[in-house]
Amino acid sequence: MAPRPQERYTHDDVERMIKDIISRLYHIMVQTSGYDTGGRPTKDVLANEIKALSSSLSQLTISVSPSPESLNQPPTSGSGPSSNPAPAMLPSIPRDLIEYIENSRNPDIYTREFVELARRWNQIMRGKLNAFSTFTDELADAITSAMPELAGDVQRILAATSSAPPGGGAESGPLRSTSGNANGNGIGNGTV
């Protein structure tokens, strides 16, 4: 079966190709276990099996790789024979995961460590964002209490730099709330 790049292979075709590759690998294993260093027939059979394996691997690679034409064409919609969806790209596997598996380690452990690392960095970033938000509110409090004439400018700057929607109920901070700050001194009680 010669590879034809224009042909769309079905799941069953690809599965059959993979089974063929596994079968060829098994035959190579049998040939190498019974390899006779002096015997000519064993050497020829093994060489033929390796060539057949190479051919099967090439055919599989061509069958699952998208053609260059399909990558440049926009996907078509519809359900007729003219609508050939572009073949899906193979998933990208992180090199770290491949090395992890090559070192005989469990990929589930890699996934767990990756999730824990991502969660740790998310917590660090959340802490930094909360600290920056608290600093912004405290700075706004200090500027407003030291220079009351700038209170309008401070409110405008806080509204422009706030990630919360202006006028929304989710706003927090001493100058944005109506309940005063944590010290209860009335700064930021909405009457600025």
pLDDT digits (tens, 9 = 90+) for 98-126: 888 888 888 888 889 889 999 999 999 99
- Does the pLDDT of residue 1 top 80, yes or no? no
How many Å apart are CA 138 and CA 131, to the nearest integer?
10
pLDDT digits (tens, 9 = 90+) for 61-81: 888 776 656 555 555 544 444
Provide the terminal-to-terminal Cα distance of the chain, rounded to the nearest Å: 82
How many Å apart are CA 168 and CA 166, to the nearest integer?
5
State the Rg of the chain over Cα.
33
pLDDT category at 89 given cuts 50, 70, 90 is low
Look at the block and give the residue holding tokens 């070192």: 103
pLDDT of residue 71: 53
Which of 16, 56, 15, 52 lies closest to 31 in space, CA to CA? 52
pLDDT digits (tens, 9 = 90+) for 119-155: 999 999 999 999 999 999 999 999 999 999 999 999 9
- The average pLDDT across 34-56 equals 79
- Could you state, in order of their start, the residue ranges of all structural domains in the chain? 1-67, 91-192
* DSSP states along 36-89: -SS-HHHHHHHHHHHHHHHHHHHHHHHHHSPPHHHHHSPPP-SSSTT--PPPPP
How many Å apart are CA 64 and CA 58, to the nearest integer?
10
pTM above 0.75, yes or no: no
How many Å apart are CA 188 and CA 144, to the nearest integer?
9
Higher pLDDT, 106 or 172: 106
- The average pLDDT across 49-66 equals 84
pLDDT of residue 37: 66
